[in-house]
Amino acid sequence: MTELIAAPAKLARNLLSLNDLGEEDLQYLVSRGAAHAAGAAPGAPLDGKIVGVYFEKTSTRTRTAFSSGALRLGARLITYGPGDLQTNTGETLADTGRVFASMLDVLVARTTLTADRLGELAGHGTMPVINAMNVEEHPTQGLTDLTTLFCHFDRISGLRVLYVGEGNNTAAALALGLTRFAGTHLELRTPPGYGLARPIAATAAEQAVRFGSSITERHDMDGLPGGFDVIYTTRWQTTGTAKADRNWRERFAPFTVHAGLWDDNPEAVFLHDLPAHRGEEVSAEVLDGPMSLAFTQAQHKMHSAMAVLEWCAGGTR
């Protein structure tokens, strides 16, 4: 009887952080997301693939984007909620990942796990894992933001972006992504004690030097320069988190995005990753006004999700 020899396992493409991506892959995913936004026929590159969607935390846009995107690409879905897995009874992440990898072709996960621990779900590196947001970073939101900028401006290089609000996982992804495009400037104005995490800030600063971009962060709203192309904010209470300081709203109050910011930035578009709270981080006049791309940006989540799923599970590029 002929002995069967198993083929060596092919290492998967994970997206746990934007820093997992090389320069060509980052540019490809942005341009591919833009192509989906422009109506490119996706075909069915994931026909016969099974995509697991595991969300520990609430989600409207990201979960719908990946679910809808996977179905549009021909995949089938298995979904899991926070109480569904045996990790709740003590099974290790490595064992769970090993089982997942034997039955799924890709896993999309929103969890409280760090990127390193999320990687344990990759089943010894044979199943792609996509970080659909953790405490550290929201990489697929970062790709969405870059795709939105590219679709609107037909470029990313040279854009000036003002980010106002907490230095959260969305801000982290924006900093890690935007600083890799030459000539861009990212100005962050974050409340005292709520800035970018130091490792993220350090990495973004290093990238700025390498790619010819710039990034600054201050903890007040004084002396803002004008001429921004984009003004961006996020909700003050990041999904799945709580603030220990009972008086945190007092620190955040000066960082509301309002129409007055357009006095020195009359051509700027407005971005928000949603959900939004009108009257807190942004005024209704801005969110629902003519310069707002927030809901177009939300739609681009699906276009970016499709690009990521193709790249991770379809083997494109």
Span 124-166, pLDDT tens digits: 788 999 999 999 999 999 999 999 999 999 999 999 999 999 9
Whole-angstrom distance, CA of residue 48 vs CA of residue 43: 13
Can you give the pLDDT at residue 43?
85
Element of type H or E holding 252: helix 248-252
Whole-angstrom distance, CA of residue 284 vs CA of residue 267: 18
Spans of the chain below 50 pLDDT: 1-2, 4-9
Q: Which of 316, 309, 317 is nearest to 130 (CA)?
A: 309
CB-based contact 207:176 (threshold 8 Å): yes
Can you give the pLDDT at residue 240?
64
- Tracing tokens 């590159």 back to the chain, one arrives at 45
Instruction: Provide the sign of the torsion angle of the four alpha carbons 136, 140, 143, 148, taken in this order.
Output: negative
Helix (H, G, I), strand (E, B) or coil at 300: helix
Element of type H or E holding 130: strand 129-131
4, two tokens: 């069967």
What is the set of domains in the chain, with CATH numbers? 18-137+302-314 (3.40.50.1370), 141-298 (3.40.50.1370)
Q: Which of 107, 162, 95 is nearest to 132 (CA)?
A: 107
pTM of the model: 0.94
Q: Which of 159, 167, 180, 134 is nearest to 29 (CA)?
A: 180
Can you give the pLDDT at residue 287?
98
280, two tokens: 């807190």
Helix (H, G, I), strand (E, B) or coil at 254: helix
Can you give the pLDDT at residue 7?
39
Q: Which of 141, 110, 152 is nearest to 302 (CA)?
A: 141
HSE, CB side, 13 Å, CA atoms: give it for residue 70.
Answer: 23
Can you give the pLDDT at residue 89?
96
Whole-angstrom distance, CA of residue 123 vs CA of residue 166: 34
28, two tokens: 């490809």
HSE, CB side, 13 Å, CA atoms: give it for residue 17.
Answer: 21
User: Dihedral angle at the C-alpha atoms of 308, 309, 313, 315, nearest 10 degrees?
Assistant: -50
